[in-house]
Amino acid sequence: MGEASFRFSDVDPPAADPPRTIYTDLPTLPDPVYLGLTMRIFNDDTVGLYMRVDGSGTGWTFTSNDLGLWATATNSYVNLDNLGYRAKPGSALTQTITIRLRAYTDAGYSSLKWTFEKEITVVFIKSDDGSWTQDFLDNFDDGTVMGWSAVNELNATGITCAAAVDYYLSANYSLKSTAYSSAAGVEMRWRINKTFATPNRNQVYLIGNVRLHSRGGGYAYIKNLKTGYDSTVLSMIGRPYDTVVAYYVPEDKWIRIVVPLPKNSSISVRFIIDNYFKFTNPAYDSRIWLDDFKIISKD
């Protein structure tokens, strides 16, 4: 008989789940700092199980999330926004936190059958502490796209990419890209990207602030946002594409994404937005904003 478990990657069992590290950059972050993550939950038991997720860690406060029933022999992704929070550190900090899954046989969450725990490393970078070199800064405050472009990946049309004034982090502009699908009931995916030559230093990080919105109304639903370079995906927020009428990513809020990059390389940095378009209408598009994009490095 199996058990209940979870993973932080799309690597299938029986291969080992790679270690998970979450990075963020402290300057301009709100206080307290909130943690959101995407996890993949497995029910390998012979009965349906009701899943509850929380966590623990020094200085952290975690919410308890009752996720409902997982049928036997199934697995599914879930995005947990604001799973936990802590006071904003005053300096760079690396911590280990524990994420816990408890599986119950009843809808009242009273009959516990399985407990599964896994550790995550959380790294707080402080890019303004004098130890980092700011190699690139794209804040779009000159009113241009600063070399970024938008590209169709699947069924995307009406694509725009321009400096915008409706939402921004640093005055007075951000980059805004929109797209919709000319077909109904399809997956629609597009990306914004730009090529960079990364510095030849031992630590290189991308820092990007993004905001998402899909003008739903029964039309457009964002399923996931992937960040990476070339064909390499470094992070995913949300869940894999499906045709369920539901949003899987946080919308209408700024999200900071920080990921390591290879050094001394020419790479195309990409933010990929994956959507389900139930009906087609140019007035109901999907949108991404990007602001204060940085690449930083140090030895």
- In this structure, what CATH number is given to the domain that contains residue 17? 2.60.40.10
Q: Count how many Cα atoms sit within 13 Å of the Cα of residue 69 in the half-sphere of its side chain.
A: 8
Q: Do residues 83 and 63 touch, judged by C-beta distance below 8 A?
A: yes
Assigned token pair, 235: 């992070």
Same domain, 242 and 146: yes
pLDDT tens for the 299 residues of the chain, in order = 579 999 998 899 899 999 999 999 999 999 999 999 999 999 999 999 999 999 999 999 999 999 999 999 999 999 998 899 999 999 999 999 999 999 999 999 999 999 999 999 999 999 999 999 999 999 999 999 999 999 999 999 999 999 999 999 999 999 999 999 999 999 999 999 999 999 999 999 999 999 999 876 678 999 999 999 999 999 999 999 999 988 899 999 999 999 999 999 999 999 999 999 998 888 889 999 999 999 999 99
10 to 76, 206, 235, 261, 289: CA distances (angstroms): 11, 22, 11, 20, 26
Are 208 and 289 part of one and the same domain? yes
Same domain, 115 and 42: yes
Q: Which residues pair with 61 in a beta bridge?
A: 85
Domain end position, chosen among 97, 125, 153 = 125
Query: Residues 246, 292: one domain?
Result: yes
Q: What are phi and psi of 269, to 5 degrees?
A: -75, 135
